[in-house]
Amino acid sequence: MQTRRLGNSNLEVSALGLGCMGMSFSYGLPRDKQEMISLLRAAVERGVTFFDTAEVYGPFINEELVGEALAPFRGRVVIATKFGFKLDPNGGPRWVGLNSRPQHIKEVAEGSLRRLRVEAIDLFYQHRVDPDVPIEDVAGAVKDLIQEGKVKHFGLSEAGVQTIRRAHAVQPITALQNEYSLWTRTPEAEVLPTLEELGIGLVAYSPLGKGFLTGKIDESTTFDHTDFRNTLPRFAPEARKANQAVVALLARIGEQKGATPAQIALAWLLAQKPWIVPIPGTTKLHRLDENIGAVAVELTADDLRDIESAAAEITVQGDRYPEHLQRMTGL
């Protein structure tokens, strides 16, 4: 497994990470715990050193899973987790708002340290920008945690460029986590140039379009009633039908390269910048192996131009989030 450095930091991780959310949250019912522990440990054996979780995934159960599974590998792996949501005080499975007040951030850190079974959180992201708390206060709270030795690196997720700059001025940001893939290219306009300028890495979540870019989903696919893709405009049946053009492009390039559409999607991301690290999620060992195989797929300059020109002819249908969630991005 190749490694990459996130921006100008000293944080070196595997070129592909593993997004752990779907093991416990959002994509149907939680998977069998022992099976997921085996999968996480198999990822380490294959060279994956970067794992992504969050307090809100469950809530709590995903951090507990990751903490238990990776306990034997302390010092060999990097675990990223997140703060910033207000959880249901009645213990419900969904968040009920945002909360990035400094005291809350510090409370979340203590819980995450305990659940992850670590002495310091490797990378601590603000999960979504809280418009009610100045980003300088957020960065200052994480700076305090870094000085106390409880956090090693600071990150943001789905933040806009002004927020990034303001936070970075208080506490240097190691990584921004944003959705980025061949069918979600919003970061290219302003975010990527800003990250390059400031020396911040990009961690690309949903690099396979929440499963769509694998080619295994079409307009007739049905999801479990607990699967959050049921709420996403881009996953409405008519949008899925229209967006097959993106998958067809990946499949065409894949045929030339002896690779799957998913591998081409990941290889394309890896080819964009050396400081981009995709974190595809999976609950299946054969998909883990398929994703890891993308690191060996070499796309030439001609391949990338071919993909670019073909993609320019495709208009992706449907917003990536419903309106109330869309409002929480790019702040």
**Extents of the domains making up the chain:** 3-210+272-297
Cα dist from 229 to 27, 31, 235, 243, 244, whole Å: 8, 17, 6, 15, 16
- 234 confidence band (pLDDT: 50, 70, 90): very high
**Alpha helix positions (H), 126-236:** 135-147, 161-170, 191-198
Tokens at 21, concatenated: 């959310």
Instruction: Give Cβ neighbours of residue 28 (< 8 Å, ≥ 6 apart).
Output: 223, 224, 226, 227
Cα dist from 45 to 22, 80, 297, whole Å: 20, 19, 20
**Residue 25 to residue 60: CA distance in whole angstroms:** 10
Judge contact between 120 and 150, C-beta under 8 A.
yes
How confident is the model over 232-240, as a mean pLDDT? 92
**Residue 313 to residue 246: CA distance in whole angstroms:** 10
Judge contact between 16 and 205, C-beta under 8 A.
no
Whole-number average pLDDT of the chain: 95
Judge contact between 277 and 309, C-beta under 8 A.
no
**Residue 104 to residue 83: CA distance in whole angstroms:** 9
pTM of the entire predicted model: 0.95
Least confident of 18-22, 149-153, 154-158, 314-318: 314-318
pLDDT at 274 over 90: yes
Question: Tens digit of pLDDT for each residue in 20-40?
Answer: 999 998 887 789 999 999 999
- 95 confidence band (pLDDT: 50, 70, 90): confident
Query: Does the domain spanning 3-210+272-297 belong to CATH 3.40.50.2300?
Result: no
Least confident of 6-20, 125-139, 299-313: 299-313
**Residue 37 to residue 49: CA distance in whole angstroms:** 15
Question: Tens digit of pLDDT for each residue in 98-142?
Answer: 999 999 999 999 999 999 999 999 999 999 999 999 999 999 999
Q: Which residues are catalytic?
A: 57
Least confident of 3-12, 222-231, 275-284, 298-307: 222-231
Beta strand 18-19 with 50-52 is parallel
Question: Tens digit of pLDDT for each residue in 252-262?
Answer: 999 999 999 99
- 90 confidence band (pLDDT: 50, 70, 90): confident
pLDDT at 331 over 90: no
**Residue 320 to residue 1: CA distance in whole angstroms:** 31
**Residue 51 to residue 17: CA distance in whole angstroms:** 6
CA nearest 202: which of 210, 193, 211, 213? 193
For CA atoms 47, 37, 29, 92, the dihedral sign is negative
How many other C-beta atoms are found inside a 10 Å radius of the C-beta of residue 135?
24
Instruction: Give Cβ neighbours of residue 22 (< 8 Å, ≥ 6 apart).
Output: 31, 281, 282, 283
The pLDDT of residue 202 is: 98
Judge contact between 270 and 278, C-beta under 8 A.
yes
**Residue 267 to residue 262: CA distance in whole angstroms:** 9
Burial 90-103 (b: 16+ CB within 10 A, else e): eeeeebeebbbbbe
